[in-house]
């Protein structure tokens, strides 16, 4: 008879071990067998905590999103900076910006986070809670429910897209990379891409600008 799971192991321990593998070896290495081995368990024992690899991945996604504050979208505790000093309440647009920035930052904290959050439907409690708060905010701002749901989807898609580009940029520019090589020069020929080359030194990365353009369109729709 095989031994059962050790009582000292919790679901949180398993998720932490899975994230450690994600950081060290990448998304493809996250498996029930690999996580079980890292904790000194058999795969069968691990299945008593998570019935499938998909269940483990969903738990990882939920853990990732659990620290993105829903209150920052709903307005609870969302007053900061100049607003806090003046006693003014953050506007809905400010809260969407705060939420988008927090989600982008959270996705940037883990190697492979983008692959993880796109490995299945975002239908866990934390994922649904974030979406619910976005939809509710758009409804409160004057949008019909159906349009508010589409607007929330567009904001999430925008943040995930930018986070994916962030991840691609980090992968292409690892810490300690050597100066430009011949291959770098080949793919950065200024003469071939003059419009792109002329805008590479613009301040910021355009994240807030792009989100504002989305919100401008939503505001016109609500009006």
Query: Could you tell me where in the chain the CATH 1.10.357.10 domains are found?
Result: 65-171+202-223
Pick the CATH number of 1-51 from 1.10.10, 3.30.200, 2.10.260, 3.90.320: 1.10.10
Alpha helices by DSSP H, listed for the chain, are 11-25, 32-38, 43-46, 53-65, 71-74, 81-86, 92-107, 113-117, 125-140, 145-172, 182-186, 194-198, 207-222
Q: Are 68 and 122 in contact (CB under 8 A)?
A: no
Q: Does residue 3 carry a pLDDT above 60?
A: no
Distance in angstroms (rounded) separating the CA atoms of residues 18 and 91:
38
Q: Does residue 82 carry a pLDDT above 50?
A: no
Burial 166-186 (b: 16+ CB within 10 A, else e): bbeeeeeeeeeeeeeeeeeee
* Fold entry, domain 65-171+202-223: Tetracycline Repressor; domain 2 (1.10.357)
Distance in angstroms (rounded) separating the CA atoms of residues 11 and 17:
10
Give pLDDT, residue 203. 79
Q: Residue 87 burial by CB count (10 A; 0-12/13-18/19+): exposed, middle or buried? A: exposed
Q: Flag the least confident range among 25-39, 48-62, 187-201.
A: 187-201
* 170 or 47: which leads in pLDDT: 47
| Both tokens assigned to 52 | 């499938």
Cα 4–chain centre separation: 35
Query: Could you tell me where in the chain the CATH 1.10.10 domains are found?
Result: 1-51
pTM, entire model: 0.80
Q: Does residue 79 carry a pLDDT above 80?
A: no
Q: Flag the least confident range among 73-77, 111-115, 163-167.
A: 73-77
What is the pLDDT of the chain when averaged over all its residues? 84
Q: How confident is the model at residue 178 (pLDDT cuts 50, 70, 90)?
A: very low
Q: Does residue 13 carry a pLDDT above 80?
A: yes
Q: Flag the least confident range among 68-82, 108-122, 151-165.
A: 68-82
């Amino acid at each position: 008879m095989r031994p059962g799971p050790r009582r000292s192991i919790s679901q949180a321990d398993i998720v932490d071990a899975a994230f450690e593998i994600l950081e060290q070896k990448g998304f493809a290495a996250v498996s029930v067998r690999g996580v079980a081995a890292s904790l000194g368990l058999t795969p069968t024992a691990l299945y008593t905590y998570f019935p499938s690899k998909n269940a483990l991945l969903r738990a990882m996604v939920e853990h990732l999103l659990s620290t993105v504050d829903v209150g920052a979208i709903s307005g609870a505790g969302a007053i900061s900076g100049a607003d806090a000093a003046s006693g003014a309440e953050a506007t809905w647009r400010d809260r969407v910006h705060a939420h988008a920035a927090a989600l982008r930052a959270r996705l940037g904290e883990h190697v492979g986070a983008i692959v993880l959050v796109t490995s299945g439907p975002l239908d866990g409690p934390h994922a649904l809670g974030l979406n619910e708060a976005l939809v509710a905010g758009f409804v409160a701002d004057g949008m019909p429910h159906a349009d508010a749901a589409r607007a929330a989807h567009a904001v999430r898609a925008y943040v995930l897209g930018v986070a994916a580009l962030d991840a691609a940029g980090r992968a292409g520019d690892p810490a300690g990379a050597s100066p430009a090589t011949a291959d770098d020069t080949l793919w950065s020929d200024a003469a071939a891409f003059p419009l792109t080359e002329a805008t590479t030194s613009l301040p910021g990365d355009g994240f807030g600008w792009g989100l504002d353009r989305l919100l401008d369109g939503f505001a016109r729709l609500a009006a």
